[in-house]
Amino acid sequence: MLTKIREKSQGALAWVILSLICVPFALWGINNYLDAGGESPIASVGSKDFYQKDVNKAYEQYSQNLKGLAIDELTLKAEALQKLIKDEVLLQYVHAEGLVVTDDEARDFIKSLPYFQVDGKFSDKQYKTLLGSQRISSSEFVNRIKNALIMEQFQHSIVDSSFATTFDVESFFKIQNQQRDVSYVTVGLDSAAEQPTTEEISSYYHVNQEAYRTPEQVSVEYVELKLEDLAKKVSVTDDKLKAYYDEQKDQYTTPERRKISHILISINDKITEKDALEKAVKAKQELAKKDFAALAAEVSDDKLTAKKGGDLGLFNVGVMEKAFEDSASSLKLGEVSEPIRSSYGYHLIKVTELVAGNTKSFDSVKDELTKAYQKAQAENAFYEASEKLTQLSYEHPDNLQSVSEALDLKIQKTALFSKSSGQGIAADEKVRGAAFAEEILQGNNSAPIEKTNEHLVVIRLLEHKAAAQRDLSEVKSEITAVLKQEKAQKLAIEKAQKIKASLETGKALKDVAVDYKLEVKSENALVRGKSKLPAALTEAVFKAAKPVGDKASIFVVALPSGEQVVASLSKVTPGVMSDEDKKQMDLAKKNIANAFGQADFNQVLNSLQAEANVKVHKKAQAQQQ
């Protein structure tokens, strides 16, 4: 829970950084930076206008952030527009306040971005390639970075100044660890619900025509650049493989596994070196009659390992002193060394486990080695080809033939696919997202789409089919099922309300359940985050009003299936901080303070927006939807 608080509090800042610097390159193209011509703006913040393409691009990013949540497209686009507005309000405010970020700060941040790194280090070549593929100049990109960092600076000035007290933390856990006792019955849907009439089906179809449209579809042609394809073209000889095998032999070697134990006779102010040696020799002699582990427990001065029979675990070269390591390395399994001098004193060393190392032969790994060699040799060619792919697809945006001929890549085609699903390369969400981008629909090549870091795809439009209305005859059975479900759900709601009314008169749930032939289920000491009940029911249980005296709190909850749950909340027990919670007091204060600070920041942002010159042009927005 504490981690989630922190994650949520950082969400807004993450959006600002991502949307301003356009890091997910596949989502942003050249149209984001071109003049909108005669198009009417959707919204304005001061002199800054936002057009439908801006909303579409923001929506793509926003929908990625909220992937998996059941939110319709229009709602998401409305929220994305609000984010654009809020970000622009904040940006104009911080500039007006004179907040700045230095070139060095922006440069350091850019170098830290993984998109521009190769093998964990910033690559100027990678940086220029990625910016070039998006038609963004370095100065423009740096300016975007600066804007994002200035906004972050302002946000931190508010969020980081917030604090939480011990009382705040205790109040949080009092609610978080609260326990509730609830009993409930579930009113199912009656499968024998009345069949809808022809008039009802026709009326529903005409009112809900938008729900019965074939989705917008496209098909594309594409070329793909794969490292594995380039690797297959690399010629291989036994001499080359054997040289590569010698270089990579460590990859095919299993090191020796050697576990050791020891008995330490230390040298200190009370025991001289002579006495320590005599004691070690005597201990060695006693091993003829005693077990090593038992003797270590009795006489070893290394009290930590003595409790474990002297066990030092796996032996690793470079950890102990040379004399100790030389002896430990030369012993056979079960053998005990003579007393070995170290800076700590004298040791008796025993090897308790020994598995010999092994190197796989060249012949046994030849097939694996061949693939690894080909891949290693092809990596430079793949990188060079990817740069050429980016360059040619940009220089010849109206065809793939130039790319195909220059890089010997086959032009392939897909079947029609929608924004939500497709086959082949269109099964990849990144490919589908790019295919419906405005620049592709206008007939341009896409920038290289990175399916993986070893597989790039460039696409261009073949066919575009707008969404179309489906005939009533096609969807009659679907509508019938929907209307029958609605009727069954209406009956369930009516029954649930009757049950609720009976309970509110004081009738016991068990008695009402008998009347309606329903099963009563109960959950006692229900805790947030640990409930096995349906999510909608759990949420309603913890939102329900507390019982007053002996009178339970009665409420009805609709489940996603359409079933209705009538619940009786009989007891609420305030939560207390557990010992584990108390150990996290500092972390709890920090995260709750962060959540408070984020709430303060949102209030400031809302105030700035209320004072700014913001206009949302409803007419233009409606025309573009």
508-555 pLDDT per residue, tens: 999 999 999 999 999 999 998 888 899 999 999 999 999 998 899 999
CATH for 282: 3.10.50.40
CB contact burial 394-425 (16+ within 10 A = b; e otherwise): beebeebeebbeeeebeebebebbbbeebeeb
Whether pLDDT at 589 is above 80 = yes
pLDDT digits (tens, 9 = 90+) for 555-585: 999 999 999 999 999 999 999 888 888 888 8
In a domain, 251, yes or no: no
pLDDT digits (tens, 9 = 90+) for 55-103: 877 777 766 665 555 566 677 778 888 888 999 999 999 999 999 888 8
φ/ψ of residue 507, rounded to 5: -70, 140
Which has more pLDDT, 623 or 72?
72
| pLDDT value of position 71 | 61
9 lies in the same domain as 153: yes
| pLDDT value of position 418 | 94
| pLDDT value of position 248 | 85
In a domain, 424, yes or no: yes
15 lies in the same domain as 34: yes
Range of the domain at 553: 178-197+475-573
29 lies in the same domain as 113: yes
In a domain, 275, yes or no: yes
| pLDDT value of position 72 | 64
What span, in angstroms and rounded, lies between the C-alpha atoms of 335 and 356? 15
Whether pLDDT at 425 is above 90 = yes
145 lies in the same domain as 20: yes
Q: Are the CB atoms for 456 and 224 separated by under 8 Å?
A: yes
Mean pLDDT of all residues belonging to the chain: 86
Which residues lie closer than 8 Å to 289 by C-beta, 6 or more apart?
Answer: none
The pLDDT of 359-365, averaged and rounded, is 90
46 lies in the same domain as 140: yes
Which has more pLDDT, 70 or 34?
70
347 lies in the same domain as 288: yes
Whether pLDDT at 484 is above 60 = yes
| pLDDT value of position 6 | 34
| pLDDT value of position 356 | 84
| pLDDT value of position 25 | 35
> Which residue, of 322, 356, 390, is where some domain finishes?
356
What span, in angstroms and rounded, lies between the C-alpha atoms of 58 and 73? 12
Structure token digits, residue 128: 């220029």
Number of Cα atoms under 13 Å in the Cβ half of residue 216: 9
In a domain, 248, yes or no: no
Does this model's pTM top 0.85? My answer is no
Strands (E), 54-158: 117-118, 121-122
336 lies in the same domain as 187: no
Pairing outcome for strands 564-573 and 253-254: unpaired
| pLDDT value of position 69 | 55
Tally of structural domains, the chain: 4
298 lies in the same domain as 271: yes
